[in-house]
Amino acid sequence: MGLPELEQINDRLQRIEGLLVANKSVLNMREAAILTGLSISHLYKLTSTGGIPCFKPTGKAIYFNREELEGWMMRGRKATSEDIEGAAANYVALGRMG
């Protein structure tokens, strides 16, 4: 088995692992890293600074609620040009931000 075949197998395994993680509601650190695409060290930093929602039921192991992580990832939405134009038109029409 050559290198390209091993890379294809590895890619497939990573996709399967991602699908399995997407079906769990409680994730460990490694699974949260897979879901978010962040490194484990960056996740540890975020948990220590309170930058990401997590649980430490025993004071050691860190767990994440998948839905909360997905909500956290969806924060800070960047407005589209259409959003900005609509807000500007609304402001001009109503004289205030809408």
- Give the Å distances, CA to CA, from 83 to 6, 68, 71, 87: 45, 26, 21, 6
Distance between CA atoms of residues 67 and 44, nearest Å: 19
Q: Per the confidence metrics, is the pTM higher than 0.75? A: no
Query: Cα separation of 26 and 40, whole Å?
Result: 16
The pLDDT of 21-37, averaged and rounded, is 89
Is residue 13 a part of any domain in this protein?
A: no
Model confidence over 33-84: pLDDT tens digits? 988 999 999 999 999 999 999 999 998 899 999 999 999 999 988 989 998 9
Q: What is the CATH number of the domain that holds 67?
A: 1.10.1660.10
Cβ-in-10-Å burial (0-12, 13-18, 19+) of 63 comes to: middle
Q: Are 67 and 22 in contact (CB under 8 A)?
A: no
Domain residue limits at 29? 24-94
